[in-house]
Amino acid sequence: MPNILIATGNAHKFQEIEAIIGKFTDLSLNLVYLDKSYRVEIIEDRKSYEENAKTKVEGYLEFLEKNPDLRAELNLDFIASEDSGLEVECLGGEPGLFTARYAGENASDIANIEKLLNGMRLKKECAENRLAKFVCHACLYDIKKNSFEYFYGELKGLISEEISGTKGFGYDPVFIVPEFNKTAAQIAPEEKNAISHRAVAFGKAADAIKSKGRLI
């Protein structure tokens, strides 16, 4: 079975990607996650989501080069990563590339949400327009071919005025999914994983892996 490393330090993202790819029942892939204890250093300082996603793959490749025993043990076929963000229309697309660190380096989810809601309270346009979208740029690195491919997904919604729900992660408690009229933190993980920006991007990545014909 082909092995694919999901190059992320975010356990929530990994769980979602695992569930999304798991839905492709004809695609048997072994997903690998290296948790924070591996201390893979990534500097996300690029000017686009795609470049940041590529940087994550390169960071994990560098880490594995320095750890040849682990690299041999994992025997990887692919490395996939993603860079995602929240874009709020009345804030001119902010937080955008800075979504994870909106309230500062290593900011907590709640600190980021508070900065967002406070910023929106102060902006007149945000009283009437609360449109937003989550975007996801997935990067798939094929080790044998030494090639990078990119896949995009988005989920349109609205920013609520208050926090609701305890599921999910990040900005989910303030992101209303119109289809459910609930925040992404109030709906079931299966409901989120059927329509999310990540589901769209990784659905395309899974199709691309399938079309390589090395699996089934």
Return residues touching ligand ITT (CB under 6 A).
Answer: 8-10, 13, 44, 56, 83-86, 99-100, 134, 168-172, 184, 196, 198
**Rounded to 5 degrees, what angle do the CA atoms 20, 131, 91 make?**
110
CB atoms within 10 A of CB 110: 11
Give whichever of 24 and 169 is closer to ligand ITT, judged by the CB atom: 169
Give whichever of 29 and 97 is closer to ligand ITT, judged by the CB atom: 97
Contact 92, 120 (CB under 8 A): no
Residue with tokens 């899974």: 206
Give whichever of 109 and 149 is closer to ligand ITT, judged by the CB atom: 109
CA distances for 112 relative to 36, 87, 89, 157, 172, angstroms? 21, 13, 17, 18, 11
- CB-closest chain residue to ligand ITT: 170
Min CB(41)–ligand ITT separation in Å: 11
Min CB(124)–ligand ITT separation in Å: 26
Give whichever of 44 and 142 is closer to ligand ITT, judged by the CB atom: 44
Min CB(72)–ligand ITT separation in Å: 24
Q: How far apart are the first and last CA of the chain?
A: 9
User: Is 83 a catalytic site residue?
Assistant: yes
Min CB(32)–ligand ITT separation in Å: 14
Min CB(48)–ligand ITT separation in Å: 12
What's the sign of the alpha-carbon dihedral 16, 138, 192, 181? positive
Q: Where are the alpha helices (DSSP H) in 37-188?
A: 49-66, 68-74, 109-122, 125-128
CA distances for 18 relative to 58, 159, 209, angstroms? 21, 27, 15
Give whichever of 127 and 188 is closer to ligand ITT, judged by the CB atom: 188
CA 97 to chain CA centroid, Å, is: 12
Catalytic residue from among 83, 142, 172, 207: 83
Contact 155, 195 (CB under 8 A): yes
- Give catalytic residue positions: 83
